[in-house]
């Protein structure tokens, strides 16, 4: 067991470091004007978090770097100050986080971890995985080139397709659904606890996320200029941001659209899911299309419910961890893929790609499940309840060891630079 914890920890770090490769000192600081952290902060923060929970919390060790709490504690140091600190150099930051990793691995070498230790090793590994995804969207937002990640598999970007496949609505019958994680899950966050019965009426949900071609029809029908399609808060956001189309789209001339991916402008692929849209844009599209977002219970039910048995699966395809033919995860595709691909990952009702490719906004505001109790990492969920919207399923830059159908991601309504799309439900 210790071996598996160590290899996951080392793997998370190697991806994190690959994502920082080839960034110069000015790129490591980034730009204050965007909703992204400086990469140099990201680099120190993942090591600080590991030190905090493994070396300091479990062992009572003193901090290696005096003043590190004042730099890298995400919750207690204001986001606005992240460009004002005098950060240690890139070399010194790397030495700091490498020494913490060496000690974290070393303390597992001679003995079997306790259940408490296993929990915290999983926590810091998944935390680093989440920050790797964040670094990826930082690179996308700032127009830095796509890094050469060893996890890339060129064939995964263009998986085999059945060209006759057409997205359609699938029926999910009414029933009582167990929303949330069950106690047999090896690692869960506090916000997924615990599975509780929710009554869901029958609904019809799209078998795929909304595509670029579908969203383009909304844009070209004046979707961003028609007040009646937007909620009051959505319209306020649209006017403030002067949004006319998804964040990275650019007019390509003659009715064509392009998108900027890691600083490179490419033709918009019509069958890929729309990505980098916020919750308000999803809401307005739904109103235009005469549809709505799924609730979180509907989304999870469409992903995991077996109508024949009434059972809930861990994943759309069954109970086994994600595999390449079933979900686009782990950076393999280096971007979004065609929504028609990966039929082996379909859910029992026929929804495709509910895990991987793009995160999917749902209707719900992020709130605790009944009986919520904070886990030791108290700032993970609780400060954000009632304030953010839920996203489900993970994206191409999410690690397979982290994602599951009960996972709840959460961002503010207006966040556009995350790898998020959505699917819709018939009214
Ligand atoms: Fe963090």
CA of 376 to the centre of ligand 1 (A): 14
CA of 46 to the centre of ligand 1 (A): 7
Identify the helix (H) or strand (E) that includes residue 289: helix 279-289
| DSSP 8-state secondary structure symbol assigned to residue 211 | B
The predicted pLDDT at position 281 comes to 98
Task: Tell me how far CA of residue 191 lies from CA of 119, 266, 286, in angstroms.
Answer: 16, 38, 27
What DSSP string runs through 244-271?
Answer: SS-TTEEEEETTEEEEEETTEEEE--TT
CA of 130 to the centre of ligand 1 (A): 8
CA of 85 to the centre of ligand 1 (A): 17
What's the distance, CA 233 to chain centroid? 24
What DSSP string runs through 76-119?
Answer: TS-GGGGGTS-PPPHHHHHHHHHHHHHHHHHHHHTSPPPHHHHH
CA of 101 to the centre of ligand 1 (A): 16
CA 349/CA 358 separation, integer angstroms: 20
Residue ranges of the alpha helices (H) in 65-223?
A: 68-72, 90-109, 115-141, 154-157, 212-220
Structure token digits, residue 130: 């989440």
CA of 34 to the centre of ligand 1 (A): 18
CA of 158 to the centre of ligand 1 (A): 33
CA of 275 to the centre of ligand 1 (A): 23
CA of 36 to the centre of ligand 1 (A): 13
Task: Tell me how far CA of residue 248 lies from CA of 331, 409, 417, in angstroms.
Answer: 20, 22, 9
CA 269/CA 301 separation, integer angstroms: 29
| Residue found by looking up tokens 């670094």 in the block | 135
Q: Rg of the Cα trace of the chain? A: 21
CA of 207 to the centre of ligand 1 (A): 33
Name, in order, each residue with C-beta under 8 angstroms of 293's C-beta and a sequence gap of 6 or more.
282, 283, 286, 361, 362, 363, 422, 424, 425
| Residue found by looking up tokens 């060129």 in the block | 154
Ion ligand 1 nearby residues (CB, 5 A)? 74
Q: Which bin fits 30, alpha (ψ -120 to 50), beta or left (φ > 0)?
A: left
Cα 332–327–406 angle (5° rounding)?
120
CA of 141 to the centre of ligand 1 (A): 19
CA of 261 to the centre of ligand 1 (A): 25
CA of 397 to the centre of ligand 1 (A): 17
CA of 18 to the centre of ligand 1 (A): 18
CA of 73 to the centre of ligand 1 (A): 8
CA of 315 to the centre of ligand 1 (A): 26
CA of 427 to the centre of ligand 1 (A): 38
Mean pLDDT by 10 residues, the chain (427 residues): 92 98 93 86 97 97 95 86 88 98 93 94 98 97 94 96 94 97 95 98 98 98 98 98 98 92 97 98 98 98 96 97 95 98 98 98 98 96 96 98 97 97 98
CA of 103 to the centre of ligand 1 (A): 20
CA 407/CA 180 separation, integer angstroms: 8
CA of 225 to the centre of ligand 1 (A): 37
Identify the helix (H) or strand (E) that includes residue 237: helix 232-241
Whole-structure pTM over 0.95, yes or no?
A: yes
CA of 67 to the centre of ligand 1 (A): 17
Name, in order, each residue with C-beta under 8 angstroms of 234's C-beta and a sequence gap of 6 or more.
280, 281, 283, 284, 413
CA of 127 to the centre of ligand 1 (A): 6
**Order of strands, sheet of 169-172, starting from the edge strand that comes earlier in the sequence:** 169-172, 203-206, 425-426, 291-292
């Amino acid at each position: 067991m210790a071996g598996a914890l160590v290899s996951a920890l080392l793997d998370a770090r190697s991806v994190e470091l690959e994502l920082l490769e080839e960034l110069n000192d000015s790129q490591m600081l980034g730009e204050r004007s965007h909703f992204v952290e400086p990469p140099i902060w990201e680099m120190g923060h993942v090591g600080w978090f590991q030190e905090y929970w493994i070396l300091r919390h479990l062992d009572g060790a003193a901090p290696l770097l005096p003043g590190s709490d004042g730099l890298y504690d995400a919750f207690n140091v204001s986001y606005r100050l992240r460009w004002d600190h005098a950060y240690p150099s890139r070399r010194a930051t790397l030495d700091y986080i490498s020494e913490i990793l060496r000690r974290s691995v070393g303390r597992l070498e001679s003995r079997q971890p306790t259940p408490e230790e296993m929990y915290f090793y999983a926590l810091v590994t998944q935390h680093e995985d989440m920050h790797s995804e964040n670094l990826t969207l930082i690179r996308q937002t700032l127009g830095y080139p796509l890094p050469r990640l060893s996890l890339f598999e060129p064939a995964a970007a263009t998986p085999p397709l059945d060209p006759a496949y057409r997205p359609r609505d699938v029926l999910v019958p009414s029933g009582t659904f167990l929303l949330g994680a069950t106690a047999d899950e090896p690692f869960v966050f506090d916000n997924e606890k615990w599975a509780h019965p929710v009554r869901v009426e029958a609904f019809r949900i799209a078998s795929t996320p909304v595509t670029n071609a579908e969203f383009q029809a909304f844009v070209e029908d004046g979707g961003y200029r028609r007040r009646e399609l937007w909620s009051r808060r959505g319209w306020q956001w649209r006017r403030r941001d002067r949004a006319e189309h998804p964040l990275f789209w650019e007019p390509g001339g003659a009715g064509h659209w392009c998108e900027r991916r890691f600083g490179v402008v490419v033709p918009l692929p019509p069958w890929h899911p729309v990505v980098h849209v916020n919750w308000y844009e999803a809401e307005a599209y739904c109103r235009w299309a005469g549809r709505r977002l799924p609730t979180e219970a509907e989304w999870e039910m469409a992903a995991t419910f077996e109508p024949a048995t009434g059972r809930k699966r861990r994943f759309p395809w069954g109970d086994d961890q994600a595999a390449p033919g079933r979900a686009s995860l782990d950076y393999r595709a280096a971007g979004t893929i065609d929504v028609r691909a990966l039929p082996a990952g379909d859910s029992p009702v026929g929804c495709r790609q509910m895990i991987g490719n793009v995160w999917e906004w749902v209707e719900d505001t992020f709130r605790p499940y009944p009986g919520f109790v904070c886990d030791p990492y108290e700032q993970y969920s609780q400060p954000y309840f009632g304030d953010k919207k839920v996203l489900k399923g993970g994206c191409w830059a999410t690690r397979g060891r982290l994602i599951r159908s009960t996972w709840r991601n959460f961002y503010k309504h207006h966040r556009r630079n995350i790898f998020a799309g959505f699917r819709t439900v018939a009214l």
